[in-house]
Structure formats: C-alpha cells, structure tokens
Amino acid sequence: MGSQQILPGSTLGVLGGGQLGRMFCVAARTMGYRVLVLDPDPLCGAGHIADLHIKADYSDQQALEKMAAECDAITLEFENIPSASVRFIAGKTRVFPGAEALEIAQNRDLEKQFAKNAGLQPVPYFALRQASDLQQAAENVGFPAILKSNTLGYDGKGQFVVNDINELNDAYQQVGKVDCVLEKKINIRCEISAIIARNASAERATFPVSENQHRNGVLHMSIVPARVSAALAGQAVESAAILAEALSYVGILAVEFFVSDDGELYFNEMAPRPHNSGHYTKDACVTSQFEQQVRMMCGLTPGDTRLLSPVVMVNMLGDLWLPDWSGIFSQSNIKLHLYGKTEARPGRKMGHFNVLAEDVESALTVAEDVFNKLSGP
C-alpha cells in the first residue's frame, strides 16, 4: 500500500456522515476527489455532498467491502467507529488514522496512560474497575472530583462532579458501574486545544492554539489566538507533536488541555479527527483542518496553517432554532456554516459562525452580541 501520493481524480472514503464528514466531503470534492460516505442515517449531512452514500451500519462487512474496493484511502469522522471495522478495511486499502490510535482515544484510562507514558501531564486520576475500588479512588484523588465513564463520553456525557464518597457511590451506580476514571477537580483558568496534522512521511503542521469556552459540557466558543502565554501555547503544540509521533499518527489529531489557575498545563483528552475547536480554520487560516485532513490521508505536503485574522468561532445548537438570520447577515465580518441537518434538537450541533476582526476583543464583542440576539430575549 506504500506511501505514494493519492492525487485528485482518486476516490476517498469517510466513515461517518455528520458535520465533520460533510465538511471533509466539501474540501475533498473542491480539491477534485470523488468521495464515498458510509453512514446508517439516510438523511446524514455528508450524504448530500458525497458522490455516493452507502447507507449501512459501521459493522456491515458487505458495505465495508464495497467501500474498501472503491476507495484509494479512507478516514474517520469520529472516534466511536468500531475498531474492528477499521482493522477489516486496513487489510484491503489505506485507512487513517489506524485502529490502534482509535482504541486509545476511545478509552479514557488508556488515553491518560498513553499520554503519561509519552511525558505529558494528565490531571491526577484513579482508574475504577469495580465497586470495591471506590474507597481507594476517593483516598487517592480526594474531593471534589469528577467521575467519567471510560468510553462513549463526549460533550459532557457520562460525567459527574462528586463532593464526597456518597455522591461518588451514587454517580457510579448512575453511570451503570462501567469502567471509569475518577479525576481530581482542579481550578481551571481556561481550556486550550492544539490541532496537529501528520502524514505517513512524518511531515507535520500545527494550527494556532485555540482557547475554548463551554456551556453545559458542550463547546460554545473558540477564541484564536488563545489568550495564554506564548510559552504555554508552545508547550501545548509540542505536547500534541509528541503524541502524534508516539502514535505514528496519520491524519488530524486534536489535543485538549486544561490551564490551571497556577499556570500548569494538564492533558485532558485527544480526538483522532478534525475537531469542533478547529472550525475557525475554515475562514481564518490559509489551509482549513478539512483540507489538511485530505492532504494527510493522501500523503501530500501539509498546507500552510498561518492565521490570517483573529477569529472567534461560535457553535449554533438546536436550542437556537429557528434563528433570526438578520443578526448574522447584517454583519460584514461573519462567515456562516450550516450542517444540513433536517431536525433541530436541544444540544444538537446545527452549525457555527466565525467572526473575523482586527483583534480578538473586537471579534468577541461581535460574537457575543450576535449570539445573544440569536438566543432571543
């Protein structure tokens, strides 16, 4: 399967048809590639953009066979694709990232162990595998703490803040007594993320670090450049590069960090794919994270990641629907991106907008004003 370049006119595949798959399809087709999407949802956003939408489960071997036969390379939209499916495809065509990186990112305990072994600093934690571990976890970590399920936890799901052993017991029951980590609740000044691209020839490029603000466990806003010291931003970029190398990673890798009140950088988690906090790159960088995803899986040279303008990205959730578009289109410096989803639900990501301005504070002022108008009285 070699490391030769895959050039326009070839066929690329993506497992997953949500907004990340959709934006990948737009980038790939713009660059001249044919694109296949595999997603069980007949109405998925990426299916509307792709040349072919295979409507099947991610474990459907016949569908995977068809995809592998038609695609020169395949990538993933999100990390909860079954790793067995990725291994199956890998025996037939190129797939990036590989199953090993996927399996680490799918499990909080494995992820934290991997980061620690690579030299990064996770928040102090204890791995829980059974009810008899609860007391020892409490003694090791202390309170307040956060109980997080090892798998299928994202956007705040499967997470509980606990203040004593009784609350920990209750949360463990609530989460279904599955494998968890108990993580020390630290005082966080802010969260930042570094997004790195790496191809099979180990060429790398890193996007400018973003500062992320959350609401109800879901990313609300990303601010770029992040309002942290150059030293901290540099440490985050270097840490992301260390992880990418340790994984022999190919593709886009997003790494989230906490900055504590005392200025320490803590590894939080990684995502083996383009990331919500990188959506600002679509308008504010020379190369977007989605074009970069195409470049990396095709063995091309990484695109220029220079920031062309300070920017604030704001998520638009289903809670906002139907918004008053005049708040966006009356502004000359806002770029709107909608995901083609047919049904709005509270908490569901329906789109985002990027505000570009001369400086971060000006972008923030406009972003907050427009968002508040969209949210209504």
What pLDDT score was predicted for residue 154? Answer: 58
What pLDDT score was predicted for residue 82? Answer: 94
Domain holding 144, by residue range, is 124-184
Query: Any idea what the CATH number is for the domain that residue 269 is in?
Result: 3.30.470.20
Q: Which of 184, 208, 234 is the last residue of a domain?
A: 184
Query: What's the mean pLDDT in 130-151?
Result: 92
Q: Strand ranges (DSSP E) for the chain?
A: 11-15, 34-38, 52-54, 73-76, 94-96, 125-128, 145-149, 159-162, 180-184, 188-198, 204-206, 210-215, 218-224, 251-260, 265-271, 311-317, 334-338, 349-356
Domain presence at residue 363:
yes
Domain presence at residue 45:
yes
Query: Any idea what the CATH number is for the domain that residue 16 is in?
Result: 3.40.50.20
309 with 261, same domain: the answer is yes
**pLDDT tens-place string over residues 31-60:** 999 999 999 999 999 999 999 999 999 999
* Overall domain count for the chain: 3
Query: What's the mean pLDDT in 371-377?
Result: 80
152 with 179, same domain: the answer is yes
What pLDDT score was predicted for residue 271? Answer: 96
209 with 323, same domain: the answer is yes
35 with 180, same domain: the answer is no
Q: Is residue 342 over pLDDT 90?
A: no
What pLDDT score was predicted for residue 158? Answer: 74
CA atoms within 13 A on the CB side of 129: 3
Query: Any idea what the CATH number is for the domain that residue 166 is in?
Result: 3.30.1490.20
Q: Is residue 68 over pLDDT 80?
A: yes
80 with 136, same domain: the answer is no
Residue 350 to residue 339: CA distance in whole angstroms: 6
Domain presence at residue 4:
no
pLDDT band at 156 (very low <50, low <70, confident <90, very high): low
> What is the pTM (predicted TM-score) of this model?
0.94
